[in-house]
Amino acid sequence: MVPHKVIDSFNAAVAGIVYVLKTQRNMRVHFLAAALVLIASVVLGMAFEDLLFLVSAIVLVLLAEMFNTAVEMTVDLAQESYHPLARIAKDVSAGAVFLASLYAVAVGYLVFFTRGYLSRPLEVSLGALRGSEWDVAFVTLAVVSILTLIAKVAFHRGTPFRGGLPSLHAALAAAIFTLAALIPGTPAVVVVLVFALAFLVVQSRIASRIHTLPEVASGAAWGAALTFLLYKLIVGPSF
Q: Which residues are catalytic?
A: 65
Residues 94/67, Cβ–Cβ less than 8 Å = no
Do 179 and 140 form a contact (C-beta atoms < 8 A)?
yes
* 150 touches 24 (CB < 8 A): no
Q: How far apart are CA 150 and CA 30, in angstroms?
A: 12
The rounded distance, in Å, linking the Cα atoms of 220 and 198 is: 9
* Contacting residues for 205 by C-beta, under 8 A, at least 6 apart: 167, 169, 170, 211, 215, 216
- Cβ neighbors of 54 (< 8 A, separation 6 or more) are 37, 41, 46, 107, 108, 111
What distances in angstroms separate CA 195 from CA 32, 166, 201, 207, one per listed residue?
A: 29, 19, 10, 18
Burial degree of 177 (CB within 10 A; 0-12, 13-18, 19+): buried
**What contacts 24+ positions apart, CB below 8 Å, involve 49-52?**
50/111, 50/115, 50/117
